[in-house]
Structure 1
Amino acid sequence: MLSKKKVEYNPEDNKEGVTYEFHAPRSPLDVRSEQIRKSHQASKWRKMLPSLAVGGALIWGFYAYNYFSADKKETISDLLLPDRFLPYLVSFKYQVDQDHYLIELTRKNRGSILAPHQQLFDGKRIWSVEIKQPEINIVRNYTPLPLYVAGIDPNTQEPHLRLVTKPEEEGKFVLLVKRYDNGEFSRWLTSRKLLDEVELRGPVVEYKVPYHPLDKFPARPQLQPLLSKIQPDPEYYENIPQPETWAFYAAGTGSLIFQAS
């Protein structure tokens, strides 16, 4: 007969031990130290409360100002407004002769407010701007030229003028001003220095070009100094009259009106 393998009995295998731990009470010194540490943490937050309150008040004031001045922010982001004067800066000034001055005006903070959809010179209207003389509180109308100063001749100091044709070139225009010895406003305007602020209002539309069938076609490309850069004219349908006569208009000092066929 097979016998079972004898295994030595070990009482440790069947032992279920239970232990009890006893923590000694904390000493009065430890309790006091803990109370001091918690009081220091509470006092730290109490000291920060005034700063937090001031910071919250400033943040609330900032958002409240933006909320209540939302309409104002929308208006000052325009290049021109017909019912409110907006600040422009004298960005260039050149004396053509004894009586005539070429003055470039640039919208103040133009780089931060310029929007692609704002277009002043669209070729479909003749308009002017009102300039305010704050010292005697009078207003005069001037017709802006769709030009801006692209550079200056280093020898003669004459400006290189270019047409405003792109949205990023808006917010600048040129005035040709004649100075009169007995003209209070012209003497004031021509005496402005670079970066002097001038307040403008407009546009004051004096004439709107009526609709023409050619308006639905792209405009004729701008003339370029090199023939290789001149783009071809757009193609028109046969039943639409071809442009044969061009009329050029200018207003104000040095006005010139002529026709070319």
Structure 2
Amino acid sequence: MIGIRSIGCRVLANRSFGVRLANQTFYRCKSNTDKSNKKTDKELTSNDANNDKVGNFKVKSTSSPASPAPMDPNSGVSHYLKKDNKPYIPKLKHERLSYEYPGLPNQDDFTKHTNEKKPKVVNRWSRYFPKIITAVVVLWGAYAIKVWVYSPEPGSDSQELLDPKEFHRFIIAHKEEIDDQHFLIELIPKFNHWQYSFYSNYESKSIWNGDKIWSVDVKQPDIMVVRAYTPLPLFFMKSEYTRSGDRKPLLKVIDNDADDYDKQGSMCLYVKKYDDGEVSRYISSKKIGDELELRGPNIEYKFPYHPLKQFHERPIFRDLPSKIEAENLVEKIKKVNNLPEFDNLTFYAAGTGITPILQVLLSRNPYRGFVDLHYSAQKPGELKPLERFLFFLEKLDRIKLHTHYDNIKNSRLSSKDVAKPESSGYISPLHLEEKEEKSHQLSPEEALKLRMQILNGDDKYQDQIINDDLRVHRYKNAIEQAIVTSKESKKPSSLSLVCGPDGYIDYVAGNKHAEVNEQGPIKGLLGEKDWDNSNTYKL
């Protein structure tokens, strides 16, 4: 009890001390405030005495010039300018108000439900349908104007890559200058409408076929002159390196594939510029991107029929000879069907006249016989980009190349390079019938009997056609087969073709009457070796 009382006395003493300290502080602040107020009153009294004079009147600035004007505290404006420090407490429930627009002046409860239009419903279909209709109408109008007002370019709607009756436009995709006079020009068609019917009819639509030699007419539009050129199934393979100029495009053979439309209809022209040749100078002056007008194909020569064509097709030439298939079944086909060998061919070419035989050897269905190629030129190097293909063809044992240059002594073509013709291995039944009728005058009944014997395969005439000395062997590829066949002796040629300038043709096979489109008699080197019009043709 005594301890509790002592603690209570101490607490009361502390409280009384705090009260006395607060009272003393209050009286001191009040006395200081009274003194300052008295001092201010004295200053105002002295200022009033001095302000009695108008000249000495001055307004003491109590605030900065940028501060607003003082307000009367009794006006109540300052109350609204005070910042509200009350915290924001969001309401959980809101009382929302809706407002309905009043009706029209002449509208009442009976008419507003009947005369008022329903609001338009806007959805995705109603939003885009007018735009679609507008776009269709605009496109249809543009197409109608193009069809009826602007006539299409010749050949733009053709279903054929080439047409022998009208000129088609081709674009120069690449131009390689071999020397000052020789150029190799790649052409691609300007329009692609012909591709729609190409894939389904590839056999008839493809222009590359080794069973015939064909050419195109190139027009010089300034003077309306045309000249025939033989296209080659070649194209230039390009890449980012060739487009930047780091490398030259690679010349390759068209694989005759229907999937890529024979490399989009590409072809190459081997052109020699003559000083007096209007068309050659016109073509050689063109640049990449310019256009040429072509018409064709014009069939220059078609090889004689041979029954082996129905049973066997020689594999097409490829850039890599190791990828070319071997002709393993050809000997078996000949033996089973009693078919003779294909006739060998000798081709005499000068300058750009080598293009026809290259077209035949590099196209689909290449010539199945062996080819002796005699090439004449002024100097070596005129066939620089084409020498690679000639080298591979020789390694495949398909050709034998003989070069004759004017600037090399004892190199020109002479009679020692020409051999006598060999009789054809295949004699058609019609030819046998004509030969038999000439030797023996037969009556109509005997001629009919002879014809039936030939068609039925009488042994008497089969012995003249069939050669039974055949053998069969299998090879992995054409290179392996060529190693074996190149060691075998070749039969002399039964057919010869000549192509080149007029002077060269006259020297080799006699003059050709081009004005009347006649071959003329066989003279020259071939005429001296008993060649005639039955086994010689001048291109």
Q: TM-score, normalised by structure 2?
A: 0.36
1:91 is paired with a residue of what secondary structure? strand
Matched to 2:166, the amino acid is R
Q: TM-score, normalised by structure 1?
A: 0.68
Q: RMSD between aligned alpha carbons?
A: 4.1
Q: Distance in 2 between matches of 1:251 and 1:63?
A: 53
Q: Distance in 2 between matches of 1:28 and 1:196?
A: 78
Alpha-carbon deviations, 1:137-187, whole Å to 9, x = none? Answer: 221111111222234877662642314533331611111101122322211
Task: Check the 8 A contact 1:80/1:200 in 2, yes or no.
Answer: yes
> Quick check: which has more Rg, 1 or 2?
2
- Equivalent of 1:169, from 262, 277, 299? 262
Match runs of 1:113-124 below 5 Å = 113=195, 115-116=198-199, 117=202, 118-124=205-211
- Equivalent of 1:103, from 185, 206, 228? 185
Matched to 1:212, the amino acid is H
Paired-residue identity, %: 34
Alpha-carbon deviations, 1:186-205, whole Å to 9, x = none? Answer: 11111111121111111111
- Equivalent of 1:31, from 114, 125, 130? 114
Matched to 1:120, the amino acid is I
Residue of structure 2 equivalent to 1:231: 325
Match runs of 1:42-53 below 5 Å = none
Task: Check the 8 A contact 2:186/2:235 in 1, yes or no.
Answer: yes
Say whether 1:197 aligns with 2:295: no
Task: Check the 8 A contact 1:94/1:158 in 2, yes or no.
Answer: no
Distance 1:201 1:53, change over 3 A: same
Say whether 1:88 aligns with 2:170: yes
Residue of structure 2 equivalent to 1:129: 216
- Equivalent of 2:307, from 203, 207, 213? 213
- The structure richer in helix per residue is 2
1:255 is paired with a residue of what secondary structure? helix
Q: Distance in 1 between matches of 2:231 and 2:111?
A: 88
Q: Could you list the runs of 5+ residues in structure 2 that have no partner in the other structure?
A: 1-107, 121-125, 358-370, 373-399, 401-489, 491-539
Task: Check the 8 A contact 1:143/1:252 in 2, yes or no.
Answer: no
2:267 is paired with a residue of what secondary structure? strand
Residue of structure 1 equivalent to 2:22: none
- CA shift, 1:33, in A, is 1.9
Q: Could you list the runs of 5+ residues in structure 1 that have no partner in the other structure?
A: 1-24, 39-44
Residue of structure 2 equivalent to 1:181: 275
Residue of structure 2 equivalent to 1:145: 232
- CA shift, 1:80, in A, is 0.4
Distance 1:106 1:247, change over 3 A: farther
- CA shift, 1:246, in A, is 4.5
Task: Check the 8 A contact 2:156/2:191 in 1, yes or no.
Answer: no
Matched to 2:219, the amino acid is K
Matched to 1:132, the amino acid is K
1:34 is paired with a residue of what secondary structure? coil
Residue of structure 2 equivalent to 1:242: 341
Alpha-carbon deviations, 1:192-238, whole Å to 9, x = none? Answer: 11121111111111111121011012322235566653322033231
Matched to 2:262, the amino acid is E
Q: Report the count of equivalent residues.
A: 226
Task: Check the 8 A contact 2:215/2:228 in 1, yes or no.
Answer: yes
Distance 1:249 1:146, change over 3 A: farther
Matched to 2:298, the amino acid is V
Residue of structure 2 equivalent to 1:7: none
Distance 1:92 1:227, change over 3 A: closer
